[in-house]
Amino acid sequence: MKKWFLMLSLVFASILVLSGCGEEATSKEPAASTGEVKEFTIKASNFEFDQKEIKVNKGDTVKITLENTQGLHALEVAGYDVEVKDGETITFVASETGEFEYICSIMCGTGHNDMIGSLVVQ
């Protein structure tokens, strides 16, 4: 009985130790805002966004709302790993400077590849 209990305890302890092996040591926390809140409503139609460029400063909190006026579209900002769908709003901190392309992330037809804009972070 004692050996069986000891073996069961060792198996349980091994499972606990091994279950932590697949986790990353670092966590990805959202960047803290140090600037203003900049809000944009982007209207999407077949096959364009009404705003080809939006500008913010590094540290600004960016809020983007997407409105589909024609067709079915979503907007994805490359480099920030964010996507907004029709009628939704996304919020993120512009933590990196540069120019980041935003595209329609739903295949919407023959002009789909023309649906491109830029987020410029200064």
Quick: pLDDT tens for 25-71.
Answer: 333 445 677 889 999 999 999 999 999 999 999 999 999 999 999 99
Q: Is 26 helix (H, G, I), strand (E, B) or coil?
A: coil
Report how far residue 96's alpha carbon sits from residue 31's, in angstroms, rounded to the nearest whole number: 10
pLDDT for res 111: 87
Nearest 10 degrees: Cα torsion 73, 75, 78, 79: -150
For position 17, what pLDDT does the model report? Answer: 47
Average of per-residue pLDDT values in the chain:
84
